[in-house]
Each structure stands twice: as structure tokens, then as C-alpha cells.
Amino acid sequence: MASIFGFVFTLHGSYIVAHFLVTRIAVRLLFGQRSRKAKTTRLASTLSETAENSHCSSDAQLVNWVTIKSLQPVSGSEDRLEVAHVPDPKFCDEHLDIVVRSGDFKVGERGLLVSVGSVVPEQLATMAGWDGLLKRSMFMVKMTNFGRTRSHGLLLRRADIAPWVTDDLANLVDTLGISAAPTQSRRFLLELCFVGTGFYGSENTRQEDERPTVVGEVQRAVARMNLLVDPAKLQREWRTLSRVDVGVHARSFVLMSAPLSWPQCRNLEQSLNAQLPKEIRALSSIEMPSMVSIRYTSSVVSREYRYFFPVTMLGDAPTALEDFKTELYRFEGEQCFANFTLLKKLGMKDRIKKKAGLRAWAAALSTHKKSRKEAGFPDGTNPSNIPTHADVAFATKRRILKATVASVEDPDESTGPALVEIRLIGTGFLFNMIRYIVGTAAAVARGDLRSSVLRLALQAEYCVDLSEHLAPAHGLTLYHQELKLGKWATSQLAHSTEAADHFFDRTIKPTIRASWQDWLDKEGFPSDKSCIGIEQKGAEDLNKESHQSVN
């Protein structure tokens, strides 16, 4: 019978998705010429027996009445399927897409939404006309792809279940024999704070035993807790809203998990903290709407970083602090920051290989930087006669909303080196961009770099090498991310502010102060040239593969 009434959709070139769906005509034929009363009596008897034999407790959240907001044809289904847009019962400001058969529903009509993770009896699946599809998952409702359209639940017509309709959803669940699957999957928005010392940045290196990262540690903790629904998605479906480099800290770092088992994860942050190293703490875990996905660019309005460095790095001039503030202010606004990052980190490797002109330009810049380094970075040799390539200029435009000195500690009251606190807010930052900003502004303040050279670097008409002025990573902290997400996220993330502040004040800032004290003990007066020696050696050791020549 299934072979008679099944049909195959061929979608979008290489996508061939086979779904055997029983139409309303097929349902009528399956039930033959029996009367509606006979069908109802038989189904009612079966559902009652299923409910009595069910070992799973009923849950009113498994089903909800929803109103169809709109209907659209499913591409490639030859008008046999539609996607119904309905409110998400769990998240008032979000919606769900549910695939239904064309003609089964009208806009404004109500239907019974059976949530993902619910198990329905075979007879109910048959009556709804989806038994051919649900049989594949042992009649558990799962997110299902129909070509490029994903269905996030099962929608039942009120007419099909009219004899059992009741205002009590828990009673309706029991009557229909719907139960919760032993294991359900949910994605979570996780907020972390961490001390970056000892980690190779935030992103998984795929060499976690030798090069542990923050996200890699979280993934390994989840794996040890047996929470992964699909171990193959250990890395692929995890996403972060920001990225930090080797040794950089974070007061608030947000990432999206792969699907995890639920309801075991009700207190996910507590379970994670029991598995994570003490340098990483989970602040909150928020269940995500199934239709929402975070993006590195579109989900973040702005990112705020704080950088701390000893007051002594500004030198002894009476006007050093004011000079520093003046130079720092120059970075505000939308500008080209090609001279404040590394070409190797722009993701242009393939483009450089394909374009002869760009390849020659990159080789010339590499030669300029190498010759300066070998000569000990002679004063006055920063500018080159190499024009900034148009492709690079376009790729390195960023907008800084605020660049200010937030506070300056009194040396007489400080337990350790008195620190200057820099606050930088922007829509996005390039690799090492903040460290170059702070390092060059401080170099101008103490007289190690001419202000005219810094202005030339910001104009970005020509390449200017600022390598010797890169500030150390241990002074940098990702402080806050202004997110572009619904109330389901922002309201709950606000509750973790106190815990984030506590970790920052009690753990991150003392670590920064201790790191600077060790650095000062080893290097004496903080000249930039000694600073870059440490930074480059560490970068080559920790990120050897990413620092290969582009030639």
C-alpha cells in the first residue's frame, strides 16, 4: 500500500530527498468504506489501550493549541506540501515552521501542535496521514527536512481528534496516548567566563590534547557527561559569537551548543562546572528556540573589550596620559585597519594564490616586515612605499564606537603594578587589532613612535609596519557582547551579570596584574621591542600553523 501512495520529491540539484507521505485519499482508502463512527470507535479503543499501557508520564507541554499565522508552498513539492508558520508555545517572541499537506489547514485555523521529542501511537499517526514518515523514527516526532525546509513538529487537525478534544492538555495527552521520548534534544546558549592563560584561544584546534582551547574544553566536558545526541556533531554545530586569541581572557563569552540530551540538562551550567577546569566557569545555560541560530556577524550589535597595562608603560612625561588619550581617540569611527592586524589572519590565502598582483603585493609587504625585524626595528622605518591593496583595504574596514581610558589606578594604593584600564567598543575587531591600538598609542605617549606615523597608519594609503608595538595578550579581556537576540536570551543573560563581575574582579583582574608583575620582573622597563620578542615567540610556538608565510 505504501508503494502505491508514497511519492518521491527530487529537490535542488544534488539534494534527493525521499519521503513517503500518505495523503487524505490514502487515509480514506486505508479505512475502506467504514463509517466515521466505526473509525472513531476503533481509534478510541486503541488510544485508550495505548494510554493505559504507557510507562511514560504525560506532559502537558508535549502538545499545544496553536493558530496558523501564514502558509507557504514547500519548494519542490509540486504544491502537495505547505509550511505553516505558528507561534512557538515555549518562546512568545519566536515562531515555528511546520510542514503540512496542502489544503489541510487555512490561515487563522487552530491545530494541535505535537512537539519534537513526543512519541505518538501508530494509529494516531495513520489517522493524521504521516505514519509512513513517522515509522522511520519509531513514531517519535523529530525535526525533519523536506528539501531545504525543516519541519519543527507535527500539526494535527482539530477535526481528526474532535471526539477527544478537551481544554485540559494533560488529559488530552493521556487520551491520545502521546508520551515523551526517553531522551530529547535541545540546543543551549551558554555563557562562559574564563582565564585565557594556558589556552590556545577560544576555537577548537582539533588538537585538544596538545593545544587545549576554551570551546574544546566545553565540548570534552559535554562528551564526558554523555549529553551529545550526535557525537559526529561535536564540533560542526557549535558556534561562538566572538573569538579570542591565545592568552586572552573573557568576562562574558557566548556560544551555541550542538543538540544535547534533555531534560538531563535542566541545570546544565552546574553540571558543566563540575567537569570544567577551574579557569573556565559556565555562568548560564539557556534553552534555545528550535528556529533560532546564532551568527558571528548578525547576532551581535557590538563587542566590548577591556585592556589593562601598567601606568609605567606610558613613560615619565607629565603629559603622557593625556597624549595617550588623544591618540586613542583617533581610532573611533569607521576606518581601514589594514596596518593593525596580520595579513595571514584575514582568510585571504586562496585569493592571494589566485591573484598574481595580490600575491606580489603580499610578498613585498612580507619582505618589508622581515627586513625591519632582522635589523632590530630601526626607528623611522615603519612606513613603506607599498600602497595598501584595495582587496585588503575592503576586508579590514571596522567601526569603533568608543575608545577611552576607563580608569587609572593610584600607584600608592595599588597592590602590585598600578594599571590603566582601556575600554574599546566596536561592531567587530580584527586579529590583534586591539593589541596594536593600545600598543601604538602607548608608544606615542612615551615617545617611541611619532604621532605622524600613527596617523599615516590609520590613513591606510600605504603599508606601515607596527610589529614592534604589539601589546601583550595577557592584558586583554572580552568584557561584554551586546546581542541581537529575543527576550528569551537577553532577559536570562542579564541574571548572570553579578556572577560575571565576581569572576572578573576576583579571578581575571588578579591574573592580569600577576602576569604584568612577572613581565616587569623579567623585562624591567617595558619597552615595546622587548615586548614583541616575547609575543612573537609565543605566537610562533602556540599557533605555528597559522603563522606560516603567505608566499
Confidence grade of residue 11 (pLDDT, cut at 50, 70, 90):
very low
The pLDDT value given to residue 130 = 81
pLDDT reading at 233 higher than 70: no
pLDDT of residue 523: 66
DSSP annotation of 259 reads: P
Separation between Cα atoms, residue 416 and residue 148, nearest integer Å = 58
Query: Please, where in the chain does CATH 3.30.70.660 lie?
Result: 302-476+505-547
The rounded distance, in Å, linking the Cα atoms of 82 and 126 is 19
pLDDT in tens, 295-333: 756 667 789 999 999 999 998 899 999 999 999 999 999
Query: Which residues of the chain are in CATH 2.40.50.140 domains?
Result: 2-182
How far apart CA 422 and CA 327 sit, in angstroms, is: 12
Q: Among 529, 303, 285, 322, which residue's Cα sits nearest to residue 405? A: 322
Q: Which residues of 121-151 are buried (b: 16+ CB within 10 A; e: fewer)?
A: bebbbbbbbbbbbbeeeebbbbebebbebbb
**Integer Cα distance of 551 and 549 in angstroms:** 5
| Residue whose C-alpha is closest to residue 369's, from 356, 384, 351, 347 | 384
Report DSSP letters for 425-466, one per residue: EES---TTHHHHHHHHHHHHHTTSS-HHHHHHHHH-SEEE--
Distance, C-alpha 351 to centroid of its chain: 26
Determine phi and psi for 521, rounding to 5 degrees: -65, -35
* pLDDT at residue 546 is higher than 50: no
DSSP letter at 12? S
Ranges 128-142, 203-217, 301-315: which has the least confidence:
128-142
The yes-or-no verdict on residue 224 having pLDDT over 80 is: yes
pLDDT given at position 52: 37
Q: Indicate if the pLDDT at residue 545 is higher than 60.
A: no
What pLDDT was estimated at residue 486? Answer: 72
pTM given for the model: 0.77
**C-alpha cell recorded at residue 389:** 591593496
Q: Which of 62, 183, 61 is nearest to 121 (CA)?
A: 62
What grid cell was written down for 528?
615595546
Q: What is the per-residue pLDDT across 465-507, written as a single tens digit (0 to 9) for each?
A: 999 999 999 999 999 988 777 777 777 777 888 999 999 999 9
- Whether 221 has a pLDDT exceeding 80, the answer reads yes
Please give the pLDDT value at position 269: 86
Q: What is the pLDDT of residue 151?
A: 86
Give the Cβ contact number of residue 169 at 10 Å.
17
Please give the grid coordinates belonging to residue 288.
Answer: 534555545
User: Over 50: is that where the pLDDT of 512 sits?
Assistant: yes
Q: What integer pLDDT is reported at residue 273 of this predicted model? A: 93
H-type alpha helices, 278-404 = 320-329, 349-354, 356-374, 390-395
What is the CB neighbour count within 10 angstroms for residue 120?
Answer: 26
In CATH terms, the superfamily for domain 2-182 is Nucleic acid-binding proteins (2.40.50.140)
Would you say 227 and 265 are in contact if contact means Cβ atoms under 8 Å apart? yes
Name the least confident of 196-200, 238-242, 437-441, 505-509.
238-242
Place of cell 485540559: 168
In DSSP notation, 97-161 reads: EEEEETTS--TT-EEEEEPTTEE--HHHHHHHT-HHHHGGGTTB---EEETTEEE-SEEEEGGGG
Name the residue among 200, 238, 197 with its Cα closest to residue 219: 238
Q: What is the pLDDT of residue 34?
A: 32
- What kind of fold does domain 185-287 have according to CATH? Alpha-Beta Plaits (3.30.70)
Asked if the model's pLDDT at residue 277 lies above 80, the reply is: yes
CA 77 from chain center: how many Å?
A: 33
Give the pLDDT score at 296.
58
Average pLDDT over residues 290-298: 69
- Output phi, psi for 276, to 5 deg: -80, 155
Segment among 211-215, 270-274, 534-538 with least mean pLDDT: 534-538
For the cut 60, the answer to whether the pLDDT of residue 542 exceeds it is no
Mean pLDDT of the chain: 79
Which pairing describes strands 249-256 and 476-483: parallel, antiparallel, or unpaired?
A: parallel
HSE of 512 in the Cβ direction (CA atoms, 13 Å)?
A: 28
Cβ atoms of 86 and 68 within 8 Å: the answer is: yes
pLDDT in tens, 366-383: 999 999 999 999 888 899
User: Does residue 537 register a pLDDT over 80?
Assistant: no
In the sheet that 110-114 helps form, which strands lie side by side, from edge to edge?
63-67, 110-114, 154-157
Least confident of 134-138, 206-210, 260-264: 260-264
Residue 448 clears pLDDT 70, i.e. is over it: yes
Higher pLDDT, 125 or 414: 125
Q: What is the rounded distance in angstroms from the CA atom of residue 463 to the CA atom of residue 69?
A: 55
> CA angle, corner 154, sides to 148 and 155, nearest 5?
110
pLDDT band at 340 (very low <50, low <70, confident <90, very high): very high
Report d(CA 256, CA 218) in Å as an integer: 11
Vertex 25 angle, CA 40 and 5, to 5°: 115
Of residues 355, 335, 337, 356, the one with CA closest to residue 346: 337
Is 534 a residue whose pLDDT tops 80? no
Residue 32 has pLDDT above 80, yes or no: no
pLDDT higher than 60, residue 37: no
Instruction: Tell me what pLDDT residue 500 has.
Output: 93
> Please, where in the chain does CATH 3.30.70.580 lie?
185-287
Cis ω on the peptide bond leading into residue 318 (within 30° of 0)? no
User: SS3 for 182-227, per residue?
Assistant: CCEEECEEEEEEECCCCCCCCCCCCCCCCCCCHHHHHHHHHHHCCC
* Average pLDDT over every residue of 116-125: 84
The contacts of residue 393 (CB under 8 Å, 6+ apart) are 336, 338, 460
CA distance 246 to 177: 54
Q: Which is nearest to 468 in space by CA: 544, 537, 528? A: 528
Gyration radius of the chain's alpha carbons = 30
- The predicted pLDDT at position 61 comes to 78
Please name the residues in contact with 329: beta carbons below 8 A apart, sequence gap of 6 or more: 403, 404
Q: Does pLDDT of 425 surpass 90?
A: yes
CATH number of this structure's domain 302-476+505-547, picked from the four choices 3.30.70.660, 3.30.460.10, 3.40.190.10, 3.40.50.300: 3.30.70.660
State the pLDDT confidence band at 77, using cuts at 50, 70 and 90: confident
* Poorest-pLDDT segment among 70-74, 172-176, 400-404: 172-176
Burial string for 212-227 (b: 16+ CB within 10 Å, else e) reads: bbbbbbbbbbbeebeb
Res 474: pLDDT: 94
- How high is the pLDDT of residue 232? 66
* Residue 35 · residue 153 · CB < 8 Å: no
Per-residue pLDDT band at 19 (split at 50, 70, 90): very low
Opening angle at CA 66, ends 31 and 61, nearest 5: 90
With bands split at pLDDT 50, 70 and 90, how would you rate the model's confidence at 241?
confident
Residues in the chain: 551
